[in-house]
Amino acid sequence: MGRRGRNTLRRARDWFHAAMEPAVVRRVSWYAVVVGAILVFINHGDALSNRNVDRGRLNSSTQEGK
């Protein structure tokens, strides 16, 4: 493997280790919860304000992308 390949792997490994530090994981998890809640309100705000939330709508909002 060439010098560039080793440097790229080293940088990727260093980035991954930094991303998995407990403080970073906590911060990212918090942001994910906040952004997820905002997106639920954006996508389902009309149903929430009309109190028209049924089990089907809840299931569809928690299984997006599956």
Residue 63 or residue 49, greater confidence: 49
**What is the number of alpha carbons within 13 Å of residue 47 lying toward its C-beta?**
13
Quickly state the pLDDT bin for 29 (edges 50, 70, 90): very high
**Residue ranges covered by each domain of the chain:** 21-66
Write down the pTM of the prediction.
0.58
Residues 47 and 53: beta-carbon distance below 8 Å: yes
- The per-residue pLDDT of the chain, averaged, comes to 81
CB atoms within 10 A of CB 9: 11
Q: Which of 40, 46, 36, 42 is nearest to 58 (CA)?
A: 40
pLDDT over 70, % of the chain? 74
**Model pLDDT, residue 6:** 77
